[in-house]
Structure 1
Amino acid sequence: MSELSPIPVAALLHAGLLVSDLARAKVFYESVLGLDPYPNRPDLPYPGEWYDLGSGQQLHLMQLANPDADSVRPEHGGRDRHIALAVRNMGALKSRLDAAGVKYTASKSGRAALFCRDPDANTLEFVEVR
């Protein structure tokens, strides 16, 4: 077997999450998290929404069948596959999650981070940055 030279990955451009009910997911991502839809989503053959996260990064919601729908998720999201999003005000995020009745857990590492799940049990990590 030959050695391959590394490919210079420059950035994570987007993360895609599967959702079962796009309208419900949009309420969570827009009303609870305050994300703004990205206006230039192409005409794809399934319902979805894209959100601009800044710096050329996006979050893509795709209303498609979930091949893992029957899987058991760990109680703490940090022990599950997840995406991490930077936030500047953890207190404001906690207030929004509390007001919406969204459960979350603190990072077990001691970092200023928390984990929650969206309505489809996708895990989101939020890390406070300055």
Structure 2
Amino acid sequence: MTSGQAKPVIQGVHHASLVVADTAVAAAFYEGQLGLERLERPELGFPGLWYALGGGQALHLLQVPNPDPVERPVRCGQDRHLALRVHGLEALVARLEAAGGVVERSRSGRPAAFVRDPDGNAIELIEEAAA
């Protein structure tokens, strides 16, 4: 980071993503049983559902053929992941890449990127203005 570049700041949880086998069955549980409100979801090339959790946080459900990430090649955005609100995404991406990390940009067009931690867990970093 250069001296004029702001330090990246993690601002909190944006969403958590879970892998499901069938979105219709999942919807019956998350909407019917838990009473969650469905959010609009952009077309991402695979089935899924998004739900509001309150406080600007969400739950994303991802339908994939095999939920075991060890047995299937997968992009981070189609895997279980924790999404963090970030201020200073580009500086954080540069720091991760300089440390040898592989960064995958979001296909949604949002200012967001995915990385894996040392244990293979997917982390999404979403740019948001500082509060």
Q: TM-score, normalised by structure 2?
A: 0.46
Using structure 1 for the length normalisation, give the TM-score: 0.46
More strand by share: 2
